[in-house]
Amino acid sequence: MHSAAPDYHPPQTPWLDILYQDEWLVALNKPAGLLSVPGKDPALYDSIAWRAKSLSPYAEVVHRLDMDTSGLLLIALRKQSERALKQAFEQRQIKKTYLARVWGQLPQPQGQINLPLSADWPNRPKQKVCFEQGKASVTEYICLDQDEHTSWVRLYPLTGRSHQLRVHLLALGCPILGDRFYAHEQALAASDRLLLHAESLRLVHPVTGVPLSLMAPCPFA
């Protein structure tokens, strides 16, 4: 998770875009440009975590999206569901999909990217592929469509490393459009936002045991 720029101006509408809610949890559609959790600077306090307190004083974010990424974010509304959801994410029991528009054409119509990642310390918060000290990181992908310059891809992260999808796609020579950390000049200029969206989550409800399949409409599809 990276720090916001000093001129942080998060979108104010909708205040909270609720896709699903019960007494235990809520699924929100986070807009691009809004932090998942507050930054240390008081100017960076506005976030999904802070806004969710209006739903419940116990509301807690159980996973995160980068500020520049839009899409599905789960919030626990009680301690019991918070513990269970965090454990489910840690044990990779929650299945996630993302959508992205990338520069160039993927090497295969579908495939798996298995490249270990670590922090790029001199250039934080950037990450890098590192075979010596990196943590195992795996992403599967399917190319949905392509044109002369870009490709439309669905991503299935099997691990949850920081900037995983962004660095894995960069490693294929296909940076995500609008990525201010990793895109080259043409790919950065192609979009005024990062074209990465958390599309879906599939999980077992942490209290009722009922399967949940949640989706957030993609704003740039």
DSSP string, 113-179: EE--EEE-GGGTT-EEE-TTTPBP-EEEEEEEEE-SSEEEEEEEESS--TTHHHHHHHHTT-PBTT-
- Burial pattern 101-137, b for ≥16 Cβ within 10 A else e, equals bbbbbbeeeeeebebbbbbbeeeeebbbbeeeebeeb
The neighbour count for residue 148, using CB atoms within 10 Å, is 5
Write the Ramachandran bin of 177: left for phi over 0, alpha for psi from -120 to 50, otherwise beta.
beta
| Encoded tokens for 71 | 């899409």
Identify whether 66 is a catalytic site residue.
Answer: yes
State how far the Cα of 93 lies from the Cα of 19, in Å rounded to an integer: 21
In a 3-state reduction of DSSP, which class is residue 88? Answer: helix
Which residue of the set 17, 46, 66, 192 is catalytic? 66
Residues identified as active-site: 66
